Every structure is written in C-alpha cells, then in structure tokens.
A = this chain, B = another copy of it.
C-alpha cells in the first residue's frame, strides 16, 4: 500500500479492505449474538462492492436512503429497505418498478405517502412492503403517538399494493457511554412495548421492528424489541465514531490522502483537501477538534477549510509536514466525505489495489 500511495494522485479517498471486513464481521457477530438481523445502511459507502461484502458477511438485506441507491444496490441484494418516505409520485413510481425485481420495503409516516405508493404499485401490479416510521425521541420524521402509528398501520393494511411488515424507528438521539445509552434504550423499550401491545391488539403485522444507528448499534439489544438493526457508518468509521468512543482510530477504514501544497505562512501548512473533499461537517462529539484528523500529525489541527484548501495549524508539531509531503486524514463524517468522491482506491492486501466507483453517488431522488 505504501508504494501505491505514492502513485495515487491527491486528494483521494482510500479504503482498507481488511478493516472493512473486520468492521462488517464485528457488527454481524453482535447482531447474531442478540438474535437480530443486520441490514446495513449503504449511504455510507454507496458502493456495490462494499454492499456485496456486507451481504456475504451475513446481512439480511441492505438499507438505502434514495431510490437511486436502491437501484444500484439491487444489483447485489434482493431485499432492500428504503428508510425514507416516498411522498412524491416520481419516487413512488421508481420504487414500484424496483419492487417488480426485488423485495422492496419503504418506511413512511403519512397517509399521503401510503396512497401515492399504493397507486404506483397497483398501477403495475407490484407489491411494496411498508414499515411505519415512529419517532421515539429523535424528532425528525416518524409518527408521534401510538394511536397515529396504529391508524396508519391500519390504513396501509387496507392498501392492495402495499404489505404492512412492521415498524421502523431511528435511534440517532441515543449516543454517549454505555450507561447513558442504557437509560435511552430503557425509554425506547417502554415506548415500543406499549406500541407493540396496541399494534397486536389491532391485529397488525410486526414481523419487522427495525432500529439502530452506528453510535447506538452495539447497545440495540437493550431495546429488546428490535428484529433488525440498520447501522451505516460502522463499515468505515470516522472521527465522529472515534471521538464518540464507539471505536478506535485503527477501525477507521476510509482515509483521505492529501499533499502539502503551500507552507508560506508561519506555523501553518496548506493541504489540497478542502470542503469539496472533506466537507464542512464538524465532529459531533468534539466540534472544536477541526475538520478531520491528520493521522501522522495528531498535534496538528485542520482549523479552516475553503473549497480546495485545508489550512492546518502545525505550531504544536515538533517536526511539521513539509511542502510536497503526503498525509492521511480521517474525516469527521465519512458518509458525506465519501459522497464527495466519484471513486475510491480500495486496498486489499499488498498487491491488490483497485480504483472503484462510488456507484450510488449523486443520483436523482
């Protein structure tokens, strides 16, 4: 990998296949140990290759956020969940067409979404699975009360083009140390127990109860109701997951290679990886830590990004990087960083390096 690194132009994204496989295995082992299915969210990598590895590693299917991502992942997986409501007709029609090819599920939180999806499915004789999105604290999408959830479940149950498969929630609000997460999952558990009781009384299907996020992934068993989890970031990890305490730097599989392109200002070097490479996303658990971490120079701080420049404070480095030198950056938020790239270099052992496409990047809807 070292030799190759010298050849690949910068800025560029590099993925270590061995770390990816280990991350995939670890999450699969956890899910399996707790009798949950694993349905990784592919928004993080948007790559057929990595999706295939997740399926080979024991995933029950894949999660996507967009129809375009679903269409790409349908090439490597025949059981897809779009954890995103399909409100507009265009999305609904594309999902329906895909449902003729693979098992397709959608999470939604409104009758309008259900109606439009049903119409699109019925029009071409497709059937689409539905999970009712319920909000258990994150406050973004999802129904707010059990009554609302049950009513929408009953509504979907009556739609000929739809098949009610269960419930979905997003536990992105649960983070931090295990003991703090335990309190959060305790609440989720109570809320879900109540909902599922009412759900059962209404005779609604609860084959799938889908939860999870990467920060909360390894505590999801505490909810005691999830049949499947949908972590995404775990496959690559980033400074958010490192500084959040969910993994170590050694678990970060995706790194940006950059070159020092200027060093005229005292105490500063400038790298060729700006906000069009790393994105302006701060590190959630440590917003003052700068825009990513330079692995070889932990004392350096990427204090400012412009579009193609990273300004790095190297005043605390005894031997700062010099002009022309290459460095390696672990991004703050790998999902948005990957989404910036058209390709990534995948390093699979000393002699196997491939330039792979970020297949599902920049697709419509």
Contact = CB atoms under 8 A, between A and B. Distances in A.
A311 interface: yes
Interface residues of A, number: 62
Most chain B CB within 10 A, of A90, A262, A309, is at: A262
What number of copies of this chain does the assembly contain?
Answer: 2
Interface of A: 9-12, 43, 65-66, 84-85, 87-88, 90-91, 109-110, 112-113, 133, 135, 139-144, 148, 172, 259-265, 268, 270, 272, 275-276, 279-282, 306-309, 311, 323-324, 335-336, 339-343, 361-365
Contacts of A268: 139
14 contacts: A9-B91, A85-B261, A85-B262, A87-B261, A109-B262, A135-B264, A139-B311, A148-B264, A275-B279, A280-B280, A280-B282, A339-B340, A343-B364, A362-B362
Contacts of A264: 109-110, 135, 141-144, 148
Contacts of A142: 262, 264
Contacts of A65: 307-308
Contact of A306 (B66, B109, B140, B265): B140
Nearest to A67: B9
Nearest to A145: B264
A362 B341 contact: yes
Contacts of A263: 110
A143 B265 CA distance: 8
